[in-house]
Structure 1
Amino acid sequence: MEILISEIDIMKYTFINQAENAELTFFFREKELSQNFTQKKRRGKYFTIALNLSADQLVILDGNEIVFQSGTLIPLFTNQSFEFQEPQKIIAWQYNCEFYNGMGVDLLNSELSSSLLENRIISLDPSNSKKIGSIATMFLDEFSGTNNAERDMLEILLRQLIVIVYRLAREQHLNGQESIEERNELISRYNKMVEIHFKEHHQVLFYADKLHKSPKTLSNLFLLYNYRSPILVIHERIIKEAKKLFYYTDKSAKEIAYELGFQEQAHFSRFFKNHTDQSPTHYKKSFLYFENGKN
Structure 2
Amino acid sequence: MENQMVHTLINPQNGNLAFKIFSFEDGCYFDHIQRNNYYSLIWFHQGNGIVRADFSEHEFAAGSLFAFSPYQPFMISSGKQISGIALQFHPDFFCIHKHQTEVACNGILFNNIYNPPFVTIDEGTSLKLSMLLEQMKSEIQNPALAQYELLISYLKIFLIALCRLKTEQEPGAFRATADLKEPFILQSLKEAIERDFKTKHSASDYAESLNISVKALAKITKGYFNRTLTELISERIIIEAKRELYLSNKAVKEIAFELGYQDEYYFSRFFKANVSISPQMYRETVGFGRSMFN
Name the TM tier (shorter chain).
0.5 to 0.7
Residue of structure 2 in register with 1:165 after alignment: 162
Unpaired runs of 5+ in structure 1?
1-7, 195-205, 242-259, 264-273, 277-295
RMSD: 4.6
Q: Letter of the aligned partner of 1:165 in structure 2?
A: L
Percent of aligned pairs with the same amino acid: 16
Q: Letter of the aligned partner of 2:234 in structure 1?
A: P
Q: Distance in 1 between matches of 2:202 and 2:240?
A: 14
Query: CA, structure 1 residues 178+128, in 2 after alignment: closer, same or farther (shift >3 Å)?
Result: farther
| 1:136 aligned onto 2:136 | no
| 1:92 aligned onto 2:89 | no
What is the TM-score of this pair, normalised by structure 2? 0.56
Q: Distance in 2 between matches of 1:75 and 1:216?
A: 16
Which gives a bigger RCO, structure 1 or 2 (Cα 8 Å, sep 6+)? 2
Deviation at 1:87, TM superposition (A): 8.2
Quick one: which of 17, 30, 36 aligns to 1:34? 30
SS in structure 1 opposite 2:18? strand
Query: CA, structure 1 residues 51+237, in 2 after alignment: closer, same or farther (shift >3 Å)?
Result: same
Deviation at 1:240, TM superposition (A): 7.8
Residue of structure 1 in register with 2:225 after alignment: none
Q: Distance in 1 between matches of 2:51 and 2:256?
A: 41
SS in structure 2 opposite 1:33? helix
Q: Distance in 2 between matches of 1:104 and 1:154?
A: 17
| 1:19 aligned onto 2:13 | yes
SS in structure 2 opposite 1:45? coil
SS in structure 2 opposite 1:98? coil
SS in structure 2 opposite 1:101? coil
Deviation at 1:49, TM superposition (A): 0.9
Q: Letter of the aligned partner of 1:96 in structure 2?
A: H
User: How many corresponding residue pairs?
Assistant: 219
| 1:73 aligned onto 2:70 | no
Out of 102-111 and 89-98, give the one that drifted further: 102-111
Q: Distance in 2 between matches of 1:49 and 1:91?
A: 8
Q: Distance in 2 between matches of 1:45 and 1:35?
A: 18
Deviation at 1:134, TM superposition (A): 0.7
SS in structure 1 opposite 2:100? helix
Residue of structure 2 in register with 1:83 after alignment: 76
Quick one: which of 217, 227, 239 aligns to 1:220? 239
Q: Distance in 2 between matches of 1:67 and 1:129?
A: 20
| 1:189 aligned onto 2:196 | yes
Out of 21-30 and 49-58, give the one that drifted further: 21-30
Q: How does 1:54-73 map to 2 (within 5 A)?
A: 54-62=46-54, 66-73=58-65
SS in structure 1 opposite 2:93? helix
Query: CA, structure 1 residues 17+208, in 2 after alignment: closer, same or farther (shift >3 Å)?
Result: farther
SS in structure 1 opposite 2:92? helix
Contact 1:49 1:73 in 2 (8 A): yes
Deviation at 1:93, TM superposition (A): 0.7
Quick one: which of 153, 157, 160 aligns to 2:150? 153
Contact 2:97 2:106 in 1 (8 A): no
Q: Distance in 1 between matches of 2:255 and 2:97?
A: 32
Q: Distance in 2 between matches of 1:234 and 1:208?
A: 28
Contact 2:245 2:279 in 1 (8 A): no
Deviation per residue, 1:19-59 (Å, 9 max, x gap) = 2766111112366533855xxxx745122111111233443
Please identify the structure whose Cα radius of gyration is greater. 1
Residue of structure 2 in register with 1:49 after alignment: 41
Deviation at 1:128, TM superposition (A): 0.8
Q: Letter of the aligned partner of 2:136 in structure 1?
A: F
What is the TM-score of this pair, normalised by structure 1? 0.56
